[in-house]
Amino acid sequence: MRGLIEKDVRLIAKRKTTMLAFLILSMILGLSNDSRLIVGYLTVFMTVLAVSTIAYDEMENGMIFLFTLPVSVKTYAKEKFLFCGGCGAAAWVLAVIICIVTGMCRGELPDIAVDSVVMGMFLFVAALMLSLMIPIQIKFGSENSRIAMIVIVAVLAVMLSVITVVFGKDSIYQINSFISSIPAVIFAAVCLVLTLAVISASYRISCRILENKEL
Amino acid sequence: MIKAVQAQKRYGDFELNLTMEIPHGRVTGLVGKNGAGKSTAIKAMLGIVKADSGSIKVMGKDAAKLEAEDKENIGVCLSDAGFCPYLNVEDVVHILAKMYPEFREKWFRDKCREFNLPFKKNIKEFSTGMKARLRVLTALSHDTRLLIMDEPTAGLDVEARNEILDLLREYLEEDESRSILITSHIAGDLESICDDIYLIHEGRIIIHEDTDVILDKYGILKVDEDTYRKLDKEYIIKSIREKYGYACFTAEKEYYRENYPEIAIENGGIDDLILMMTGGYR
């Protein structure tokens, strides 16, 4: 596990110019617009960047080689979730700090009640994203996983359209107002439980894919 | 160290059926033409490919159930797989140090310098030879009991090949109970280091023999049609029609040397063994 984390940290460090560029872009965005958006941008960007280490692992039959080292399927999958989750969480913390600082620079004081829910949602979305992306990337590889992601987004869009057509446009607003009516603590707890359940299921699926994959 | 009994794996028309044993303290060669099943056999032994039936035990454990601790005792060098090309040797040192408790960092760094491997250059910029050297050094960098090497000298010039073979000899001298399984298409490499040779063809082991026996007893008789008709064929393993008559492969060349002194007999080597037994002899 420690060896794999070391590898991924070193691989992601090779993209430091990209990370720095995105950080500067986020700060500019934070100073000129709603600074809370930085949290979303940076968290999602860093999660996607961390998941891309799977593509690096696959280069030049690297995945076969990795499994000749003291690495089991479970260790590999576990490390990916820890590393990608860790990167997303670190980016989120950094983004929250930037958000508060840039907000204060613009003379805005943070509204803890609202901001914590919005920012927490970004973390929730990032967790769902990595739970979706890791098994897809492992299953389809770097090229085909992009197609798979496009297909999934398209399917979600179609489902949303169907809901809107079948139940009417108001159904979306009703869902939204229902969510807004849930007390923040209960909503956060539901999101947390849902996140853990999705990550756990995704981890098990990733292990299964790796076990059945002909390397 | 490794024992495969009727281990089968099917891919479409191809079927691997592996029965072989690599005992402690032996250097075993696995030879065969491209596509014969050498790499699949190695992947099956490492548990990367799961056998459909039969069994493969590595250090007493099911190959498919090897744990991280078991793999710490195995050094592996694959012909076409290695660390991500965007990493450099310095990165590899740090990764291996975290991966293996018994990683010999000083030895690894010294050998990299000796083989002129730059520490800060990405692996993708390495030549074929440099990549091959790095793969072998990685496999040897921790205190292992078993080495599995798939074409470790592929793409190397004579000098580099000798360096790699010397490394393997050093590895064996450090501890005589260590074992090596090695595949190579360069017969000279195998003849100089292997104790025994398995020949694999179309997924099956067709010959297993000590290297000394192959070199001492195997040979090719070159005979015209008349001589071929009169020839005692009891010890002929395989005959192939040639322009001049027949090329006959035997495991008892001394018998023919004594009884047919007029026949031209060439010493057999691993190359001849592969070519005669797999139908490529010319």
pLDDT tens for A128-141 read: 888 988 999 888 88
Edge-to-edge order in the sheet of strand B27-31: B61-62, B53-58, B2-11, B14-22, B204-210, B196-201, B27-31, B179-183, B146-150, B74-77
Q: Is the pLDDT of residue B38 over 60?
A: yes
CATH topology of domain B2-213: Rossmann fold (3.40.50)
Write the single-letter amino acid at B86.
Y
Beta bridge partners of B75: B147
Range picked from A9-18, A184-193, B257-266 for highest mean pLDDT: A9-18
More confident residue, A206 or A25: A206
- What does the pLDDT look like over B130-167, one tens digit per residue? 888 899 999 999 888 899 999 888 778 888 888 888 88
Contact flag A10-B48 (C-beta cutoff 8 Å): no
- Say what angle helices B128-140 and B89-99 make with each other, to 10 degrees: 20
Question: Scanning every residue of chain B, which has its alpha carbon at the shortest distance from the alpha carbon of A61?
Answer: B81
Q: What is the pLDDT of residues B68-79, one digit of tens each?
A: 888 888 999 998
Q: Answer for the pair B246, B225: CB distance below 8 angstroms, yes or no.
A: yes
Closest Cβ–Cβ partner in A60, A64, A72 for B85: A60
**Predicted local confidence at residue A113, as pLDDT:** 65
Crossing angle (nearest 10°) for helices A16-32 and A73-105: 40
| Interface with chain B: mutation pick from A15, A65, A73, highest number of B CBs within 10 Å | A65
Q: Are B222 and B258 in contact (CB under 8 A)?
A: no
- Helix A73-105 and helix A184-212, axial crossing angle in degrees, nearest 10: 140
* Ramachandran angles phi, psi of B264, nearest 5°: -80, 125
Tell me if chain A has a CB within 8 Å of the CB of B100. yes
Note whether B31 and B44 are within 8 A (CB): no
Query: For residue B65, how many C-alpha atoms fall within 13 Å in the half-sphere facing its CB?
Result: 7
* Domain residue limits, chain A: 2-212
What number is the average pLDDT over the span A151-159?
A: 83
B60-99 per-position pLDDT tens digit: 888 888 888 888 889 999 988 889 999 999 999 999 999 9
Asked if residue B282 has pLDDT above 70, the reply is no
Residue B4, pLDDT above cutoff 60 = yes
pLDDT score, position A114: 66
Residues in chain A: 215
Q: Is the CB of residue B96 less than 8 Å away from at least one CB of chain A? A: yes
B236, with CB counted inside 10 A (0-12, 13-18, 19+), is: middle
DSSP-based three-state secondary structure for A206: helix
> Tokens for A44?
């999602």
Q: Which residues of A touch B121 (CB under 8 A)?
A: none
Tens of pLDDT, residue by residue over A39-94, are: 888 888 888 889 989 999 988 888 899 999 999 889 999 999 999 999 999 998 98
Partner residues linked to B196 by β-bridges: B28, B210
Q: What are phi and psi for residue B46, nearest 5 degrees?
A: -90, 0
pLDDT of residue A200: 92
pLDDT of A86 reads 93
Digit-coded pLDDT (tens) for A7-44: 999 999 988 888 888 888 877 877 776 777 788 888 88
Cβ–Cβ < 8 Å for B214, B197: yes
Each domain of chain B, given as residue ranges in start order, spans 2-213, 218-278
Number of C-beta neighbours around residue B75 at 10 A: 25
| pLDDT at residue A35 in the model | 72
pLDDT in tens, B106-133: 999 999 999 889 999 999 999 888 888 8
Which among A6, A10, A72 has the least Cβ separation from residue B67? A72
Q: What is the ipTM of this complex?
A: 0.81
Across A135-150, average pLDDT: 83
Contact B78 A56 (CB under 8 A): no
d(CA B115, CA B95): 20
Q: Is the pLDDT of residue B275 over 80?
A: no
CB pairs under 8 A between A and B: 84
- Give chain B positions within 8 Å (CB) of A57: 84
pLDDT at B14 over 60: yes
* Measured distance CA(B139)–CA(B71) in Å, rounded: 11
Residues with Cβ within 8 Å of residue A12, at least 6 apart in sequence: A19, A49, A50, A53, A87
**CA–CA min distance B110, chain A (Å):** 21
